[in-house]
Amino acid sequence: MSKKSYERPLIRKLETGMPGKFGLRNDLTPATHIDNIPVAELVENFGSPLFVISEQTIVQTFNKAKRAFTTRYPRVQFAWSYKTNYMDAVCRIFHREGSWAEVVSGFEYEKALRNGVDGKKIIFNGPEKSREDLTKAIRNDSLIHIDHLDELYELVELSGELGIKPRVAIRVNMDTGIYPQWDRFGFNLENGQAWDAINKIVHSGKMELTGLHCHIGTFILSAGAYGIAASKLALLAIDIRNKFNINLKYLDLGGGFASRNTLKGSYLPGPDINPGFEDYAEAISSSLHNSGFSTEELPLLILETGRALIDEAGYMISTVIGNKRLASGSRSTIIDAGVNLLFTSFWYDHKVMPAQPFSLYREETLICGPLCMNIDIIRNSVSLPMLKKGDRLVIFNTGAYNMTQWMQFITMRPAIVLISSEGTVNLIRRKEDNDTLANQEVVPAYLSK
Amino acid sequence: MNDKLIKDIAISESGLIFNPVTGESYSVNPQGIGILNKLREGSSLSEIKELLVSEYEVEPETAERDTLDFLNLLRQFKLTTTHGS
Ligand SMILES: Cc1ncc(COP(=O)(O)O)c(C=O)c1O
């Protein structure tokens, strides 16, 4: 007689009354496959933990975003935010789909060039651009977004030396009604800094003022804030036209749209309450249409959307190391992926799902990583079927910022694979090993005997 | 084995448990029901382990560890009493 499959014995107290947090939602489908590829096969071939990226999801999400904007506004251009995920394979998918590049360092700028992006289609943001970086960007006719006055003066100097008029914009920060207001980057609109910078650029005669940029924050849950930002930038552009007779080519509204993740501490799940592309597109485009541009004058709308375009396409597969009953009586499950690899677990209650079939029984579980640190918690309390050593757990919506902000700490950074739209599995970043680290280290001769 | 199921506990086949003393209800999975029934018969830990191992695809060590954990929970919920420890 064949034996039944085992699940550890469980007893759970039944609570009556109000359904608990997320109590109404019961997702019962195990994540056995990602894009039709068995999770077990992925782990067998590439190890655990493992990051998996779905090209199909990237393309679908990108098309959704593009459609939301282009159906409402005639001229839209996305620029892929490199810092959000700069795996070359990922960047190349976005470029193939028509995205420009948005970079914030010399390293990212160089990466964009290597990915075949035309210098004219690289937006150079951020507070730190070295003289060499700026020189390169000027020569390549990239769009340079000025962050502060020292940079502005350096650009005046450089463009004089090189005899080239760079195309520039200023980053503007402003009050859009959201808290916290990001005022560390760019020039403030309300206190006159923005106008001061614009006057200096125009009067220098050395640069071509091409656009205006803002990035009001990240994971902004209010679409209305974008409406305000778009209105304010549009008004500023119209004032510039009236004062200097300069028609700006574009308004860049930056990134910051919420992905489908659930913010930590949110009572309702993200997919139910976060605004979607349509909401942001509606707010921005109606502000621009109402702002007083004639139809021919409408500037190009640039978007540097990061997390909302890639979060959903990223999965992390991890393996259960063991279970523990804590002093409080609650269950804790240890997995092989910690917060050093899943930085975003500090912000999000990531959706997690076992990769093998399970029964209806659930238990509140604390999911911890393998690091010897109290903060190494992937989920504080999540109702999960019983998991046993060796089981796989899939963590959803991990495509943004993890593969760029991960840390090598105690464990090695794992491999990343891309499942192509055709269904092939491609290694896009090798797993690190001891040699990866040893190659960077130098043991002084007197210690190497 | 020192753990005794308290009296009058109702166990339904579908895994619903009712404690008439406190009025509280619990849900238990089939493996748990098996253990509760064994406890009611006054079985020992090794008998419970054998039951799990004979019915399910599980290593004896895992079965023992999980059973001990389950017994702990029963104690925490005050569904069992411990004698003579
Ligand atoms: C200037 C700029 N643009 C775009 C982004 C992308 O933001 P998000 O991932 O929130 O869309 C960032 C992120 O910090 C940024 O600083």
Q: How many separate domains does chain B show? A: 1
Q: What is the predicted pLDDT for the residue at A25?
A: 46
Q: Do B29 and A359 touch (CB under 8 A)?
A: yes
Give yes or no for a cis peptide into A180 (omega within 30° of 0). yes
ipTM of the modeled complex: 0.91
Nearest CA in chain B to A322: B62
Q: Do residues A272 and A332 share a domain?
A: no
Pocket test for ligand 1, best of A83, A103, A172, A305 (most atoms within 8 A of CB): A83
Give the nearest ligand 1 atom to A304 CA: 4
Q: Which residues are within 8 A (CB) of A349 and not within 5 positions of it... i.e. 6 or more apart? A: A261, A262, A263, A264, A266, A379, A380, A382
| Residue whose CA lies nearest to ligand 1 atom number 5 | A255
Domain range for A153 is: 55-311
CATH of the domain at A410: 2.40.37.10
Residue A6 covered by a domain: no
Cα–Cα dist A89/A309, whole Å: 15
Residue A23 covered by a domain: no
Q: Do residues A290 and A322 share a domain?
A: no
Domain termination residue (choose one: A253, A276, A311): A311
Domain termination residue (choose one: A283, A311, A339): A311
Domain range for B52 is: 3-79
Residue A151 covered by a domain: yes
A257 lines ligand 1 (CB under 6 A): yes
Q: What is the predicted pLDDT for the residue at B19?
A: 84
Backbone torsions φ then ψ of A140, nearest 5 degrees: -85, 5
| Average pLDDT over every residue of A188-214 | 96
Q: Do residues A122 and A257 share a domain?
A: yes
Residue B85 covered by a domain: no
- Residue A362 scores a pLDDT above 90: no
- Residue B58 scores a pLDDT above 80: yes
Q: Do residues A97 and A126 share a domain?
A: yes
Residue A22 covered by a domain: no
For residue A24, the distance in angstroms to the closest alpha carbon of chain B comes to 18
A81 lines ligand 1 (CB under 6 A): yes
Confidence of residue A21 (pLDDT cuts 50, 70, 90): very low
Nearest CA in chain A to B58: A6
Q: What is the predicted pLDDT for the residue at B20?
A: 79
- Residue A358 scores a pLDDT above 90: no
Q: Do residues A259 and A392 share a domain?
A: no
- For residue range A250-259, list pLDDT tens digits in order: 999 999 999 9
Q: Do residues A296 and A373 share a domain?
A: no
Residue A384 tokens read as 């999960």
Residue A446 covered by a domain: no
CB A362 within 8 Å of CB A383: yes
Residue A310: what residue type? I
CATH of the domain at B70: 1.10.10
Residue A122 covered by a domain: yes
Residue A330 covered by a domain: yes
| Average pLDDT over every residue of B7-36 | 84
CATH of the domain at A287: 3.20.20.10
- Residue B5 scores a pLDDT above 60: yes
| Cβ neighbours of B68 in A, within 8 Å | none
Q: What is the predicted pLDDT for the residue at A23?
A: 45
- For residue range A237-246, list pLDDT tens digits in order: 999 999 999 9
Assessment of whether the complete model's pTM goes beyond 0.90: no
Domain termination residue (choose one: A259, A290, A311): A311
| Cβ neighbours of B80 in A, within 8 Å | none
Q: Do residues A292 and A255 share a domain?
A: yes
Q: Do residues A398 and A253 share a domain?
A: no
Cα–Cα dist B17/A447, whole Å: 66
Q: Do residues A279 and A329 share a domain?
A: no
- Angle of the A88-96 helix axis to the A106-114 helix axis, nearest 10: 60
Q: Do residues A140 and A111 share a domain?
A: yes
Residue B84 covered by a domain: no
- Beta-carbon neighbour count of residue A38 at 10 Å? 12
Residue A288 covered by a domain: yes
Q: What is the predicted pLDDT for the residue at A26?
A: 52
Cα–Cα dist A197/A282, whole Å: 30
Q: What is the predicted pLDDT for the residue at A365?
A: 93
Compute the C-alpha angle A81/A83/A85, nearest 5°: 85
- Residue A200 scores a pLDDT above 90: yes
| Average pLDDT over every residue of A358-376 | 88
Cα–Cα dist A214/A202, whole Å: 19
Cα–Cα dist A35/A317, whole Å: 13
Q: What is the predicted pLDDT for the residue at A5?
A: 87
- Beta-carbon neighbour count of residue A42 at 10 Å? 24
Q: How many separate domains does chain A show? A: 2
Coil, strand or helix at A417: strand
Segment (H or E) for A242: helix A223-244
Q: Do residues A269 and A208 share a domain?
A: yes
Pocket test for ligand 1, best of A214, A215, A261 (most atoms within 8 A of CB): A215
Q: Do residues A431 and A317 share a domain?
A: yes
Compute the C-alpha angle A373/A379/A380, nearest 5°: 80
Q: What is the predicted pLDDT for the residue at B9?
A: 83
